[in-house]
Amino acid sequence: MLLVLQLVIICQASAQIIYVRQGGTGNGTSWSNATGNLNAALQQASEGTQIWVAKGTYLPTENSDRKISFEVPNGVQVFGGFAGNETSLALRQPEVNLTILSGEIGEPGIADNSYSIVIMDKVNGNTILDGFSITAGNANSDVQEINRTRCGGGLYIKGENGAASPIIKNCVFTGNMGRDGAAVYNNGRNGECNPTFINCTFSNNEAGLDGGAMYNDGRMNGKSNPTLSNCLFERNMGTYGGAICNATESGSCNLTLENCTFRENAAYLRGGAVFSMNGDQKCFTEISDCNFVNNYPDDQNMVFTSTQGRHDAFDIKRSEP
């Protein structure tokens, strides 16, 4: 046991850390020499690197190019919530030291904001985003194909034609817009997209189509199987699925919700909280210890709707109402 502990300490000590501080002009080797360019830090990082980001607001670009995002490389761990003098992760306070990733580029107002603020493309389970507020993305492109310009205004996770399984913790997604999955789009088409969200809040996001906060796409023989624990969905809006929309045709989509709260989410048509487009009977949601409060419409006292296939597509345990 002692040997294992020593190895862990050695690994932590040898991990490269890049320090980012708003207004910094250094090369990122320490807090006193922090860089102010988060995107440059991400481009410099390699697998195993940690990026520590101090409080402040960070934009994907200083110009008006809406396609530029913060792209998190495989195996890189990005942490916000620092005051800017900490010596360990345990000392940071994300709820106090707000670290904001904003899509507010170009002119004031959301119309010309970044399409997707954060991109995670085919990243593994060692890839972490932890302690950020992600706001004001606007994935409103008119393109027909599924991509980062029309889906996932806050975060676009791509496992399409590959696999993605990042961990997102202690993040707030608020005020994002998109055609599908205004805050988060989990793309598992012809691949796998199985992210884990822990202690995250999704509020006031709005989809022009489906999945006001999140869209889980397991179509085209793909898999989209997210796990959400201790998350809050509040006042999100979409056409189908005020908070979450699950979709599959020839693939699978299995969503796990643990100890989550859905409050005052609204769907223009069906599924105030969660909606499943279950075309080939391979779309399933497991719900345990969750609360559903004042979501609209409630569809005969149910706050979630399954259609086009099996009618037992939800397993509900110890949840209210």
Q: Superfamily for 51-317?
A: Single-stranded right-handed beta-helix, Pectin lyase-like (2.160.20.10)
Residue 114 CA to residue 107 CA, distance in Å, equals 11
Buried b / exposed e along 209-243 (16+ C-beta atoms within 10 A): bbbbbbbbbbbbebbbbbbbbbbbbbbbbbbbbbb
Average pLDDT along the chain: 89
Q: Shortest CA distance to 231 belongs to which of 184, 160, 170?
A: 170
**Percent of the chain beyond pLDDT 70?**
87
Q: Distance from CA of residue 120 to its chain's centroid? A: 9
152 by Cβ neighbours in 10 Å (0-12 / 13-18 / 19+) ranks as buried
Q: Which H helix or E strand runs over 53?
A: strand 50-54
Residue 122 has pLDDT above 90, yes or no: yes
Alpha-carbon torsion, ordered 285, 288, 290, 296, to 10 deg: 30
What is the structure's pLDDT at 284?
84
DSSP-assigned beta bridge partners for residue 121? 158
Are the beta carbons of 207 and 179 closer than 8 angstroms? yes
What is the structure's pLDDT at 252?
86
Task: Sort strands 237-240 and 192-193 into parallel, antiparallel or unpaired.
Answer: unpaired
Angstrom CA distances, 9 to 2, 3, 6, 15, stand at 11, 10, 5, 10
Quote the Cα angle for 137-118-195, to 5°: 115
- Please tell me which of 3-17, 144-158, 290-304 the model is most confident about, judged by mean pLDDT: 144-158
Please compute, for residue 276, the number of CA atoms within 13 A of its CA located in the half-sphere on the CB side: 31
What is the structure's pLDDT at 306?
52
DSSP-assigned beta bridge partners for residue 101? 58, 134
What is the structure's pLDDT at 279?
59
φ, ψ for residue 286 (rounded to 5)? -100, 120
Mean pLDDT of all residues in 59-72 = 97
Residue 248 CA to residue 240 CA, distance in Å, equals 14
Residue 303 CA to residue 242 CA, distance in Å, equals 10
Buried b / exposed e along 21-53 (16+ C-beta atoms within 10 A): bbebeeebeebeebbbbbbebbebbeeebbbbb
Residue 99 CA to residue 170 CA, distance in Å, equals 11
Tens-digit pLDDT profile for residues 282-318: 788 899 999 999 999 865 334 565 555 444 566 676 6
Only one residue has tokens 């497991």, namely: 286
Residue 77 CA to residue 185 CA, distance in Å, equals 20
DSSP assignment of 178-217 equals ESB-SSEEEE-TTSEE--EEES-EEES-EESSS-SSEEEE
Mean pLDDT of all residues in 27-43 = 98
Only one residue has tokens 């530029």, namely: 68
Q: Shortest CA distance to 20 belongs to which of 79, 61, 92, 71?
A: 79
